[in-house]
Amino acid sequence: MKKILIGILIITLTACKRSGNESDNLVLPSSETEKEIAIDTITKESVQEKTLKSFEGLADTTFVRLADFSDNFAYDLRYATENNFLKAKVYDCAECYTRVKTAKALIEVNKAFMQKGVKIKFFDCYRPNSVQYKMWEIVPNPQYVANPVKGSIHNKGGAVDITLVDLEGVELDMGTDFDFFGKRAYHDNLDLPQTILDNRKLLKETMEAYGFWSIRTEWWHYNLGIASNDPVADFKWECP
């Protein structure tokens, strides 16, 4: 009888040990902190999926934050830093706003870019007219900064300064940095390596196919044609 009881005990212990080893194979949070991080990550991902807004009911002239309507863009908003030709920060915080019609066109053209393995990266978007005055105070030269009295299409919410990046975020070579004021940045300067010319051609032809037009001296600047008659604005976004 004692031998039988010992045998049953050994079998029970072995089964428990095996069950414990099987549990070890499960990937579970090892602490309450890790559990909270895992739950928080899932929650943030769920929230992110729900944050994109719809244009339904919005007038074409309404100013909107582009990131609220698409998460497929990249940003390097230079005028919210000192890394620009002004060597000064003129935005309180980095945001990309445009009017609704411009945002719609940008989302559509970006879909076309993404089918080619690239996407838009923004250097500047809508620019309040008061910021235009700040820029004019620093560089009062119409060759580089539009006179704020008249304003620019940036002040109307219909212009963007952009480049292209691959889907990993690496910038395509456009030959110069943003806001390089010289012949090397001109669209009609063909004295450049073929790779640069091809990249600029991809940017220009695709943007033009969706209603944008370029200016000769800046490969990065694009205006939405139907936005050119909108009024100059001084709408200011709130910073966090």
Q: How far is CA 144 from the centre of its chain?
A: 25
Of 166, 214, 224, give the one whose Cα is nearest residue 188. 214
End-to-end, the C-alpha distance of the chain in Å comes to 77
DSSP letter assigned to residue 171: B
Return the pLDDT at 154.
Answer: 98
- Pairing mode, strands 159-166 and 118-124: antiparallel
Return the pLDDT at 56.
Answer: 97
Return the pLDDT at 51.
Answer: 87
- At 207, list the tokens: 């943007």
pLDDT tens-digit profile, the chain (240 residues): 444 444 444 444 444 444 444 444 444 445 555 545 554 554 445 444 558 999 999 999 999 999 999 999 999 999 999 999 999 999 999 999 999 999 999 999 999 999 999 999 999 999 999 999 999 999 999 989 999 999 999 999 999 999 999 999 999 999 999 999 999 999 999 999 999 999 999 999 999 999 999 999 999 999 999 999 999 999 999 998
Return the pLDDT at 19.
Answer: 44
Is-above-0.85 flag for pTM? no
Q: Is 97 helix (H, G, I), strand (E, B) or coil?
A: strand
Sequence letter at residue 145: V
